[in-house]
Amino acid sequence: MRKLPPLRALHAFEAAARHQSFGAAAKELGVTPTAISHQIRQLEETCRVKLFQRRPRPLLLTSAGARLYPALRNGFDALAAAMALLPEGNVQAPLRVTSPNAFASKWLVPRLPKWREANPEVPLDIIGTDAVLDLRGGAADVAIRYARKPPLDFVAHEVFRDAYIPVCSPQLLERHGPIARAADLLRLPLIHYDWMNRDPEAPTWRQWLAVARSIDPDFEALEKVWDLSFREELHAIDAVVGGQGVAICSDIVVSNELRSGLLVKAHPLSLPGYGFYLVSVAHNPRAPVIEAFSTWMRALS
């Protein structure tokens, strides 16, 4: 059990130390300077040490007061921040989730009705962006980060890990014939999209074709690596669904399209992908809700 002095005395001391004035502290707290002086004297008696040097101006802390003040200031600041996060009335504040655009659009958004069924009291605020938002600065409560390794200096849990496979629409295969071997894909238009992280080992057509050539000695060299290129991954997926070609896609991101039959695997050769990490700051006041969101995502993987 914690043994603490009266909260009013601690509050009076913190305000007086911050303003370096009993009068300013009294004005802030809505009491008289005499009340501030009495509360601080009560605190000094409890601590058995002087906290202020008794001199008219300026008001100065003793060495003991200088040690106590930062702890109280930080504690009151943390309490104020936690109070600001509390919902108004009985309304739960939305859990702000930032996610890569393609994952938010193709995986997360279609599954949100299931979240509402399981957690009707916790609304979500989805921030789809490929930018890395500042969690410590309060830009979001939790982030879905897509990386080879978990981010450092955060609480991070891998939810799932994907693989990259060549996918296309069934209609494209009907027009161009079946794919019996990797080299047969060269008969089809190849669709490429940019990787924002500029990873030289990203699972792109270059990587896939290099692996295919290593396992198929009759695989002929290809002068051009793709026929159609997009800046955005979502646009490339739309083009693939529209029957415009074959792309190397995350089996997690296009899982709905594969399940519904809009897309099919054009060839079984796959490349290792990355991890989807649920990331938050340590000691997050919304940790229970974040854990519920993590459990929900894992159950749907």
Domain ranges, residue 231: 90-301
CA dist., res. 71 & res. 39, Å (int): 18
Is the same domain home to 156 and 46?
no
- The answer to whether residue 2 sits within a structural domain is no
Identify the domain boundary among 53, 85, 117. Answer: 85
Contact 93, 87 (CB under 8 A): yes
Is the same domain home to 21 and 153?
no
Amino acid at 66: A
- The answer to whether residue 175 sits within a structural domain is yes
Note the pLDDT of residue 57: 67
Is the same domain home to 243 and 222?
yes
CATH of the domain at 293: 3.40.190.290
CA dist., res. 203 & res. 274, Å (int): 10
CA atoms within 13 A of residue 138's CA, in its CB half-sphere? 5
- The answer to whether residue 183 sits within a structural domain is yes
Identify the domain boundary among 26, 57, 85. Answer: 85
CA dist., res. 153 & res. 13, Å (int): 34
Question: What Cα–Cα distance (Å) separates residue 187 from each residue in 47, 156, 171, 177, 191?
Answer: 83, 43, 15, 9, 13
Is the same domain home to 193 and 292?
yes
CA dist., res. 270 & res. 293, Å (int): 29
Q: Quick one: CA torsion of 168, 206, 151, 235, rounded to 10 degrees?
A: -40
Is the same domain home to 164 and 232?
yes
- The answer to whether residue 268 sits within a structural domain is yes
Note the pLDDT of residue 242: 96
Note the pLDDT of residue 226: 65
Is the same domain home to 78 and 128?
no
Contact 19, 33 (CB under 8 A): no
Note the pLDDT of residue 221: 60
Identify the domain boundary among 50, 85, 120. Answer: 85
Contact 167, 101 (CB under 8 A): no
Q: Supply the Cα-derived Rg of the chain in whole angstroms.
A: 30
Note the pLDDT of residue 223: 58
Is the same domain home to 178 and 287?
yes
Task: Please state, as a whole number, how many other Cβ atoms lie within 10 Å of the Cβ of residue 213.
Answer: 16
Is the same domain home to 273 and 150?
yes
Is the same domain home to 71 and 209?
no
- The answer to whether residue 1 sits within a structural domain is no
- The answer to whether residue 274 sits within a structural domain is yes
Task: Please state, as a whole number, how many other Cβ atoms lie within 10 Å of the Cβ of residue 269.
Answer: 18
Q: Which residues of the chain have pLDDT under 50?
A: 89-90
The predicted model scores a pTM of 0.68
Is the same domain home to 72 and 104?
no
CATH of the domain at 73: 1.10.10.10
CA dist., res. 15 & res. 201, Å (int): 56
- The answer to whether residue 49 sits within a structural domain is yes
Look at the chain and report how many structural domains it folds into: 2
